[in-house]
Amino acid sequence: MGFPGTWMTESESVVYRVVPKCACSTIGQILYYSDHGTFYDGDIHDATSGLHKWSQERSQPLIERNVREHRTYSFTCVRNPYSRILSSFFDKICGIQRNGRRYRGNLVPLVIQKYGIEVGGDDGKQAFDQIRSFRRFLLFARDTIRFRKPMEPDIHWSAMSGHVSTFIMNGGRYDSIFFTEKFNEGMQGVLDAIAPPHKVDLSAIPRFNESADHGPKRAHPVEDYFDDLSMHIVYEIYKRDFRLFRYDFENPANRLPVGEIDLDEVHAKLGD
């Protein structure tokens, strides 16, 4: 299986396990900058040079050697499950993607037809009942994750623990897992632990939110999208994420973690 979703700087200064919807665009650009002293011109997910990626065959032996022998500092980043699934809805379901089309072709029409959601019209900019449509999308996301119907779960709303675990199960070990909500603190800890060719000043780095303009703006606070039933569904899907990464299930308004991540616990529970 190897190390899907794993990136490494060309200088081999650091290894990063991508978790979708968890500041991955910004992190990727920081890693690129730390090697080259400039940002990648475009979406870092499209880069085919300047950064080793497991999806590139030529990079696989280098990544595998580094990870299995733990030669290189390794990290990942996680996010509150409530805000992550909400972001996935506005970006991937309601939004128009970089190529000018809907995400994954027939995915959105399928969800519209089978679950009765609205997405803001053909351009994603029309007014619609965001709360009602999101809660219906949540049923769809649950069905894909729990029952793999009407399709396999998408990487953008499958559990973070699933992404994090593949790295561990195939022989990797994390030196750091930090919170999107405490991004500068966590990313600075990574930069302090490595010696990149180019110094990175986090206070001067823009946030590369590649999904920011894809879809309609969120019209309500995060907590308004989650009633008692939808909270139950979120917990059903992401129970392990809440527990391992110390997020507050009881209060969707509290985006911050309620404790520190225990790396030993993460490796023990996700390494089975």
Residue 207 lies in a domain: no
Tokens representing 86?
């909400």
Residue 94 lies in a domain: yes
Q: How far apart are the first and last CA of the chain?
A: 15
Residue ranges of the chain with pLDDT lower than 70? 210-214
Identify the pLDDT of residue 97.
81
Q: Cα 264 to the chain's mean position, in Å?
A: 22
**pTM of the predicted model, to two decimals?**
0.94
Residue 174 lies in a domain: no
Angle at 163 between CA 133 and CA 182, to 5 degrees: 80
Identify the pLDDT of residue 261.
98
Identify the pLDDT of residue 210.
58
Residue 43 lies in a domain: no
Instruction: For residue 8, list its beta bridge partners.
Output: 15, 52
User: Using CA atoms, how far apart are residues 39 and 263, in angstroms rounded to an integer?
Assistant: 31
Domain count for the chain, please give it. 1
Residue 226 lies in a domain: yes
81-132: pLDDT as tens digits: 999 999 999 999 998 887 778 888 889 999 999 999 999 887 777 889 999 9
State how beta strands 14-17 and 6-9 pair: antiparallel
Its domain, for residue 121, covers: 82-155+217-238
Identify the pLDDT of residue 186.
97
Which residue, among 45, 88, 54, has the nearest Cα to 166 in the 3D structure?
Answer: 54
Residue 234 lies in a domain: yes
CB contact at 8 A, 59 and 8: yes
CB contact at 8 A, 47 and 92: no
243-269: pLDDT as tens digits: 999 999 999 999 999 999 999 999 999
Identify the pLDDT of residue 213.
62
240, burial (CB in 10 Å: exposed 0-12, middle 13-18, buried 19+): middle
Q: Give all strands of the β-sheet with 51-53 in edge-to-edge order.
A: 51-53, 6-9, 14-17, 73-78, 176-179
Residue 102 DSSP SS3: strand
Residue 45 lies in a domain: no
Residue 124 lies in a domain: yes
How many C-beta atoms surround the C-beta of residue 113 within 10 A?
Answer: 11
How many C-beta atoms surround the C-beta of residue 145 within 10 A?
Answer: 18
In single-letter form, the type of residue at position 214 comes to H
